[in-house]
């Protein structure tokens, strides 16, 4: 079966909800989000995704998070913000990569 890589977390959640894509076909989603935890992700989805299908969005996001298929390519956490004149190319890996 073909797998797909998503490039926008919110657009992918909407596509999943509409049935344009199914969870089993998602290899992973490469996103510019910076959720430090599953709980923060859920809270942010509830605040940002203005939809009657919010519970579907949350359920799909949890399934993707729990299966390690959300790759957050950015970090906006203050402890990791580069200072002027420096170049930082490393951020802590999620626990699933540390086993």
| Inter-residue contact 33 to 72 (CB < 8 Å) | yes
Integer Cα distance of 92 and 65 in angstroms: 17
| Inter-residue contact 72 to 35 (CB < 8 Å) | yes
State residue 58's pLDDT score.
97
pTM of the model: 0.74
State residue 69's pLDDT score.
93
Q: Residue 1's beta-bridge partner residues?
A: none
How many structural domains comprise the chain? 1
Integer Cα distance of 61 and 56 in angstroms: 8
Tokens representing 42 are: 């859920």
Tracing tokens 């049935």 back to the chain, one arrives at: 19
Residue 66, domain extent: 4-97
How is residue 82 annotated by DSSP?
Answer: P
pLDDT digits (tens, 9 = 90+) for 20-68: 999 999 988 988 888 989 999 999 999 998 888 999 999 999 999 999 9
Q: How does residue 90 score in pLDDT terms, banded at 50, 70 and 90?
A: low
Integer Cα distance of 86 and 1 in angstroms: 44
């Amino acid at each position: 079966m073909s797998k797909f890589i998503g490039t926008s977390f919110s657009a992918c959640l909407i596509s999943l909800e509409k049935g344009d894509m199914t969870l089993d076909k998602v290899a992973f989603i490469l996103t510019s989000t910076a959720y430090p935890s599953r709980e923060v992700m859920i809270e942010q989805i509830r605040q940002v995704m203005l939809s009657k299908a919010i519970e579907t969005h949350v359920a799909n996001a949890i399934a993707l998070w729990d299966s390690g298929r959300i790759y957050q390519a950015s970090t906006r956490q203050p402890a990791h913000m580069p200072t002027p004149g420096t170049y930082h190319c490393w951020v802590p890996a999620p626990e699933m990569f540390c086993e």
